[in-house]
Amino acid sequence: MGSEWEILQLKDAGVTLIDCVHKTPPDAGKGVPYIAIPQMKEGRIDFSANPRLINNEHYIEWTKKAKPQHNDIILSRRCNPGETAYVPPEVEFVLGQNLVLLRSDGSKVQPSFLRWLLSGPDWWEQVGKFLNAGAVFDSLKCAEIPKFELPIPPLPEQKAIAHVLGSLDDRIELNRRMDETLEAMAQALFKSWFVDFDPVIDNALAGGKEIPEELSEKAQVRAALGDKRRPLPEEIRTLFPDEFTYSCEMGWIPKGWQLKTVSAFAEKLSKGTTPRKADIANAQDAPDVPFLKVKNIDEKGIIKIETIELIPRSVHEGSLKRSMLKEGDILFSIAGTIGRTTIVPIELHDANANQALAFVRPRKKNKTYFLLQLLRSESIQNLVSSRIVQAVQANVSLTELGSLPVLDSGEPLINFYHEHIVGVYKKIFHVRTGSAHLIKLRDTLLPKLLSGEIRIPDAEKMVKELAL
Which spans in 54-136 are helix H? 56-63, 114-117, 121-130
C-alpha to C-alpha distance for 362 and 291, rounded to whole angstroms: 21
Query: Which residues 6+ apart lie within 8 Å of 63 measured at CB?
Result: 94
- Of 150, 170, 185, the residue at which a domain comes to its end is 150
| pTM reported for the whole predicted model | 0.86
Domain annotation covers residue 234:
no
Query: Which residues 6+ apart lie within 8 Å of 468 measured at CB?
Result: none
- Of 150, 177, 203, the residue at which a domain comes to its end is 150
Using DSSP, state whether 433 is helix, strand or coil. helix
392 and 268 together in one domain: yes
Q: What is the DSSP string of 114-148?
A: HHHHTTSHHHHHHHHHH-B--SS--B--TTTGGG-
Q: How wide is the angle at C-alpha 99 spanned by C-alphas 95 and 104, nearest 5°? A: 90
pLDDT tens for the chain, 468 residues long, are 445 799 999 999 999 999 988 888 888 889 999 999 999 988 999 998 889 999 988 899 889 888 999 999 999 998 889 999 999 998 899 998 889 999 999 999 999 999 999 999 999 999 999 998 876 788 999 999 999 999 999 999 999 999 999 999 999 999 999 999 999 999 999 999 999 999 999 999 989 999 999 999 999 999 888 777 777 889 999 999 999 999 988 899 999 999 999 999 999 999 999 999 999 999 999 999 999 999 999 988 999 988 999 999 999 999 999 999 999 999 999 998 999 999 999 999 999 999 999 999 999 999 999 999 999 999 999 999 998 887 667 889 999 999 999 999 999 999 999 999 999 999 999 999 999 899 999 999 999 999 989 989 999 889 888 876
Here the CATH number for the domain that contains residue 310 is: 3.90.220.20
For the chain, helix, strand, coil in percent to 5 are: 45, 20, 35
- Of 134, 150, 166, the residue at which a domain comes to its end is 150
7 and 146 together in one domain: yes
End-to-end distance of the chain based on CA atoms, in angstroms?
A: 29
> How many domains are there within the chain?
2
Which of 425, 276, 272 is closest to 355 using CA atoms? 272
Domain annotation covers residue 437:
no
Query: Which residues 6+ apart lie within 8 Å of 280 measured at CB?
Result: 311, 312, 315
Strands (E), 315-467: 330-333, 341-343, 352-353, 357-362, 405-408
Helix (H) or strand (E) holding 19: strand 15-19
Using DSSP, state whether 169 is helix, strand or coil. helix
Domain annotation covers residue 434:
no
